[in-house]
Structure 1
Amino acid sequence: MDLPISPPLPPMLAKAVKAMPKGDLLYEPKWDGFRCIVFRDGDEVELSSRGEKPLTRYFPELVEAAKRELPERCVVDGEIVLRKGAKLEFDLLQQRIHPAASRVKMLSEEMPASFVAFDLLALGDESLMEVPLGERRQRLVDTLSGVEAPFHVTPASDSYELALQWFEEFEGAGLDGVIAKPRDIEYMPDKRALFKVKHERTADCVVAGFRWHKSGPIVGSLLLGIYNDQGQLQHVGVAASFTMKRREELVEELKPYLAEDLSEHPWGEWAKQSEATVDRMPGAVSRWTGKKDLSWVALRPELVVEVAYEAMEGNRFRHTARFRRWRTDRTPESCTYEQLEVPVAYDLDDIFSGGAGS
């Protein structure tokens, strides 16, 4: 592969901010998928992940589409996403990372992925890494103006008001927030030079167990549950953002709630869950966890905690939740899915087509 930029290349990153920044910025939707830099040199195409590992073998449909839609020689930064109907589905995207070539082929045909381009790093023999982002954006739009699905160019705008509108509306299509990019910066690999504004909500959850920290006998994470419509305590994720001192304190705080008899615990049957079960209980092993120790300590489901979270993926938290406070005023039974805010639906086609503004 003979390009002015060679793979692998760590992408430029964003740091989280609480509020939408103002200034000489370009705003873009934050896509919820796999970060990917596409390198194309004729018939050679490589898809490189954020961790600089090749994604090429997992998305053969994008490799073929890149040969059809992208310039003969180029490097394009963007996001691999997977849609179901009018919404992005990160859970389905994760299923594409599979060791069996036959399964990869089947999934690429049954649920093909899309690629959303948001930066142009090289074209022909020219590297654009030192070109200001505003100019790179214009080059990207001019170069990829005629691309067709599954390749798309992300919407972008310098309007603060439109960015706020996107932040509120696009979540209904499965997007993750808004990225704000200074117009004058060059491309800075592996540097958090951009800004991201993500949704954060709170939920009251039942603490039904914990895992030990990898460093020793202190709490690593709290196991969280919410009651579903059938009155079952559904495992929804973990809260794990604690200082080392706080982890030590939690050991004593949780000690009075240790469950002696797992047969009475709502998750006592977790070991019977298969790796194919979407609603697997804590401790279940899948190809994502590998040999990681997921053993846990059961607690009587009597404690209620308020946590902050960004979004739901199905009936679980999309990312690790963040501890806010104990809720001694709430009963465990009151922690149901009815408390959770559901984003208003938004048609993904309106974003892909540019109908959302630019």
Structure 2
Amino acid sequence: MDLPVMPPVSPMLARSVASIPPGMSYEAKWDGFRAVVFRDGDEVEIGSRTGKPLTRYFPEVVAAVRAQLPQRCVVDGEIVVAHDGRLHFEELLERIHPAESRVRTLAERTPASLVAFDLLALGDRALTGEGQSTRRRELAGALAGAAPPVHLAPATTDVAVAREWFEHFEGAGLDGVVAKPLDLPYRPGERVMYKVKHTRTADCVVAGFRWHRSGPVVGSLLLGLYDGDGRLQHVGVAASFPMARRRELVAELEPLRTGTEGHPWAEWADEAAHARSRMPGGPSRWSGGKDLSWVPLRPERVCEVGYDHMEGDRFRHTAQFRRWRPDRTPLSCTYEQLAEPVGYDLAGVLGGGRP
């Protein structure tokens, strides 16, 4: 492979802001795997956000790149799994599997797509020094003949349209809007774009915690919600605390510490039990051998957390602790309180891919 921009490339990133800034180029924020795609003839490499290759996990994307992208190019985008009118992140996670036979099976059963939103190189030209508007124009021309599973990400410079996207696209599984300054060159690894994400609150049961890697302070709170059958399901964690607050939480939670006997998640170490109910410490290829043990707490305290959206029956990202809710009973913390976005067919998003 011999391209003007060579792997690995750390993709350009965005920082969170409270509202959509004016005077920029706007795109939907995709919920998938960030991917920088390098093509030099038949040679294709797909790099992840961390620089590790994704190539072997998405053979159908590699084939689509060879069939539809320019002979020599570097494209920044997102790999997604989409069907039934929305994105499915959990099915995307399943693709990271050590067995090639399993990867091939899933590539046929739940094929992935590539949504392209930036162009770093074309032919012998590096475009990283060009402004965002120039790169977008070049990308649109390079993908003029593209067809599914390769998509050009919709973009607009109309902030009113961006606000409409923010309100409606969530129903298709997207989680916000990204704003890019029009003259912004491509700056790998830097948070120079802006993202606006949905945020909501939920009252959750605190049923355990994990120790912080740095020592005997609380690392994360384990959150639960009761389902329709009265079972406490593990829905995620709240983990963003200053170190002083982590120390305070040890003392606050000490009266609630208990053993696993009689705890709703007592079977957490039994792999088969995770097929029946959501519990912390589930087997995962993403755990990387990390210690998944946790400290059980009597499920008696309720906290309010902020979250952006759900993936199935759990929080998609780490929740943000807001406050304790002594006025709420644990049994009142059910899935019914969660806001459901109005459905929006993903085809309506991707159908607007031309500038």
Regarding TM over 0.5, the answer is: yes
Which residue type is aligned with residue 45 of structure 2?
A: E
* Offset of residue 302 of structure 1: 0.6
CA deviations on 1:251-295 (whole Å, 9 max, x unpaired) are 1111111124x3221111222233973844112332221311111
Q: CA RMSD in A?
A: 1.4
The separation in 1 between residues aligned to 2:184 and 2:264, in whole angstroms, is 53
- 1:6 corresponds to which residue? 6
The separation in 2 between residues aligned to 1:136 and 1:204, in whole angstroms, is 44
Distance 1:122 1:96, change over 3 A: same
- 2:343 corresponds to which residue? 345
- 2:187 corresponds to which residue? 188
Q: Which runs of 5+ in 1 are unaligned?
A: none
- 2:82 corresponds to which residue? 83
- 1:139 corresponds to which residue? 138
Asked if residue 54 in structure 1 is aligned to residue 56 in structure 2, the reply is no
Which residue type is aligned with residue 135 of structure 1?
A: T
- 1:331 corresponds to which residue? 329
TM-score when normalising by structure 2: 0.97
> Do the aligned residues in 1 keep the contact of 2:267 with 2:273 (CA within 8 Å)?
no
Provide the secondary structure at the position in 1 that maps to 2:155.
coil
> Do the aligned residues in 2 keep the contact of 1:80 with 1:114 (CA within 8 Å)?
yes
Asked if residue 202 in structure 1 is aligned to residue 205 in structure 2, the reply is no
Provide the secondary structure at the position in 1 that maps to 2:194.
strand
Which residue type is aligned with residue 231 of structure 1?
A: G
Distance 1:102 1:187, change over 3 A: same
Aligned length: 355
Which residue type is aligned with residue 341 of structure 1?
A: A
The separation in 1 between residues aligned to 2:112 and 2:99, in whole angstroms, is 18
TM-score when normalising by structure 1: 0.96
Structure 1 stretches (4+) deviating beyond 4 angstroms?
none
Provide the secondary structure at the position in 2 that maps to 1:274.
helix
Matches within 5 A, 1:21-170: 21-23=21-23, 25-170=24-169
CA deviations on 1:19-53 (whole Å, 9 max, x unpaired) are 11112x00000000000011111111111111111
Q: Which runs of 5+ in 2 are unaligned?
A: none
> Do the aligned residues in 2 keep the contact of 1:274 with 1:284 (CA within 8 Å)?
no
The separation in 2 between residues aligned to 1:133 and 1:51, in whole angstroms, is 23
Which residue type is aligned with residue 252 of structure 1?
A: A
- 2:218 corresponds to which residue? 219
> Do the aligned residues in 2 keep the contact of 1:14 with 1:193 (CA within 8 Å)?
yes
Task: Determine what percentage of the aligned residue pairs are the same residue.
Answer: 61
> Do the aligned residues in 1 keep the contact of 2:268 with 2:280 (CA within 8 Å)?
yes
> Do the aligned residues in 1 keep the contact of 2:176 with 2:198 (CA within 8 Å)?
yes
